[in-house]
Structures are given as structure tokens and as C-alpha cells.
Amino acid sequence: MPQRVIVIGGGVIGTACAYYLNKSGWNVTIVEKGRFASGASHANCGFVCPSHVLPLAGPGVMAKTLKAMLSPNSAFSIKPRFDPALWSWLLQFARRCNERDMLAAGRTIQELLNTSRRLYDELFATESLDAEWQTRGLLFPFLTQAAMDHYAHTDQLLGEQFGMRAVRYDGDDVAKLEPALKLGLAGGWHYEGDAHLRPDKLMSSWRRLLETRGVTVLEQCELTGFTSGESSRAAAALTSKGELPAEAFIVATGAWTPLLNRELGFQVPIQPGKGYSITMPRPKVCPTIPLIFEEHRVGVTPMQSGYRLGSIMEFAGYDRTINPRKIEMLRAGASHYLLEPTADPVVEQWYGWRPMTPDSLPIIRRSPSRPNVIIAAGHNMLGLSMAPATGQRVAEMLGTANS
């Protein structure tokens, strides 16, 4: 029998790990405390975006963040509360708001993004995955000329440091590229190498593929700890459905990972960053290219079977409520740019917790206290974009399973 590996977490990162481990000959079981793909992987914007190489922490970002927090209509907010872990996270974030750390993080991010973009092409070329995969790029339209010109500096930086340049469209030329946009915009920047898909379809399709290849998915099965074997190795996962022995364990629990600090042997620097989306039918005048409205922090995803607005970054802990003001901000933001920003009826209002790290880098490493436990978490807002590269890297760390 092949060696067994337990993947803890049924989101896109855990699923990608399961896929590449299965290809390497491992007997894989996915353990999910809720429903498979019910967390941040369910209704995000579905962008696969090599253009997003820059981390959140950069020169001047802290000043902008503090200013945004004072605005009731800001897409970024922090819920005031006593939370030393959050304060520590913010301090670490502030220390990285400089060009040197920004560029260093960006190079690591770019490696993961570019690898994943290539692997997605391979996946959809070789596997029967139904995810509405489209390669139309990603367009950043701008309302004002000042914002359009300011973004030119970002595009120049991306070109000089990362070889990532957008095609610039000035004035109404951007509406010629994307006729769903209003006339009179300042212009836009189009990153032609980006892609998008429908996340929930990807996850259900990927699950079916894995199960046909012998991967077991256990839902409503919560990890409570590990039993110890020789040399501090984990011998079994303790779960709400009993002990699950294995030779190796992958912790792909996203924003929930800090709750496992004691079991993992270190303080996981992840904070849950709450994002929102609303899913609707396609408007009659529907975009063909995914959009990000930087000035209003709203993303637009035109899917073959629907249409989605998403964004917001709310540091409110593990708050499960949907703030109607945040939902309205998505609608209001899109209305500045699109001829038909929304459609009825709303199919789903949704939130998910992004696993945010201070440097925007994911944590892909072995546990310092349990050498056969690998953490794959903290992908910030790029979990979907980085998933295949993460899964491949985890499989390489474990190597080929021994029968």
C-alpha cells in the first residue's frame, strides 16, 4: 500500500496539495471541518493574476491605511478590539512598508504566481476540469486622470523590476477595449497574461477528479491535535471522527491556522482578512474582461454562468456577520464605471476570511516541532492564483511515496 498523507483543509490550497501528492503516488485523505470548499475558496473573484506581484506592504502604505480607517466608506477597516495578535501583526506589517522588503517579497510572490499560471494551463489542457477557464487578462480602468497617471508609476515599477507591463489605453479607448465600460473614463491598464475562472465550479470539478483517483474526502471532520510518534513525528491526526494515522500531514487551513499554534510549534503570523462578494446573473451589457477598479477597490468577474462583484478588507477577527454597508460599497463602486453594474436577482451574498500575513508571503514549511507536518497556509488574497504552485512544492517536499 502507498504511504498515507492527511491533508487538513478542503479549500483550494488543500485540494491542490492533494492533487499533486496523489500524482506522486501518495494515498491521500482530505479532512475538512465543515463542507468541502465552503471557505475563502467558494465565492472569491476567481482571478489567476500574475500581475499581482507586489505585496500589500510598501512605501507609504501605512499612512494610506490609517487615513482609510478614518473614512466610514473605506474598503479597508479594522474593528477596534483588544487583540494582541492583531497588534503584533500590524507592527510586523508596518516594518515591511519599505521598498527593499517590498521588492524582495515581490520576487518570491512572482515565482509562485508564474508557476501557477503555467500549471493552470497544463491542468486545463490535460484534465477534465469544468471551471469556466478564460484567458482574457485583467483590466484596471481609472475614473480620474490623476489616478490613471499615478498608476503609471506602478506599471513602470512592475516593468523594470518584474518584467510585467500592461497595455495602456487612454480615454475612451478603454471603452473600445471593454464596451461594458462607460465613456468618459480616464483610461485603463490591461494585463494580458492574467486569467479567471469560477471558483466553486473548479472546486467541485477538482473534487470529482480526485475521488475518481482514490482520494478520500472527509467532511464535518475537525482536527483537534496530533498524537506523537518517534523523533517528535506526528503519528496520527486526532479528529472529531477519530484517529487518522499517516506518514505525513499537510496543514492547509487558511485563516484558521493560528488556532493550531500549539500543535504546530510556533506563532503563525496570520490574521483573517474578511472579504465580500455578491453573485448575480450576467447583466445584458456584461464585461468580457475581468476588472479591478483601484480607486474604489472593487473587482468584477464576468463568468460564463454568472457575474460577481467582490472586494473589501475587514480585519474583524472571526466575525460571521455580513455587513450590509460593505455589500452596498461593492454596488456603489461598480456604478461609477459600468453601464450596467448589477443585475437581479442576487444569487448569493458571501464573505470569506483571507489568510493574511504581514509580508504577503505564504507559509510553506515544515512544523518546527513535528518534522512530518507541513504547513501550507497564509496565501493572503492570492490562494487561487498560487494553489497549483503550492501543491507542487508540497509534493516535492515529501517526495514520491513508497509502496
Pairing mode, if any, of strands 373-377 and 306-315?
A: unpaired
Give mean pLDDT, residues 169-188.
98
pLDDT band for position 252 (50/70/90)?
very high
How high is the pLDDT of residue 400? 85
Q: Of 377, 163, 166, nearest to 261 (Cα)? A: 377
pLDDT at residue 64 is higher than 80: no
pLDDT at residue 11 is higher than 60: yes
Q: Rounded to two decimals, what is the model's pTM? A: 0.96
How high is the pLDDT of residue 32? 98
- What phi, psi does 248 have (nearest 5°)? -150, 160
pLDDT band for position 99 (50/70/90)?
very high
d(CA 307, CA 46): 11
Query: Which residue has cell 473534487?
Result: 207
Domain 4-137+193-398 fold:
FAD/NAD(P)-binding domain (3.50.50)
Give mean pLDDT, residues 220-229.
95
How high is the pLDDT of residue 72? 59
Least confident range from 99-108, 278-287, 314-323, 394-403: namely 394-403
Give mean pLDDT, residues 17-44.
96
d(CA 333, CA 90): 27
pLDDT band for position 280 (50/70/90)?
very high
Residues 6+ apart with CB under 8 A from 262: none
Cα Dmax for the chain: 68
CA 360 vs CA 16, 92, 101, 252: distances in Å: 20, 11, 11, 16
In whole numbers, what is the pLDDT of the chain averaged over residues? 95
Neighbour count for residue 190 (Cβ, 10 Å): 20
Give mean pLDDT, residues 168-174.
98
Give mean pLDDT, residues 120-149.
97
- Percent share of the chain, pLDDT over 70: 98
How high is the pLDDT of residue 155? 96
Contact 398, 374 (CB under 8 A): yes
d(CA 96, CA 265): 24
What is the tens place of the pLDDT at every residue in 300-355? 999 999 999 999 999 999 999 999 999 999 999 999 999 999 999 999 999 999 99
Q: Which residue has the higher pLDDT, 202 or 79?
A: 202
Pairing mode, if any, of strands 76-78 and 271-280?
A: unpaired
How high is the pLDDT of residue 403? 54
d(CA 200, CA 354): 16
How high is the pLDDT of residue 71? 63
d(CA 238, CA 291): 43
Query: Which residue has cell 506563532?
Result: 267
pLDDT at residue 98 is higher than 90: yes
Length of the chain: 403
pLDDT band for position 396 (50/70/90)?
very high
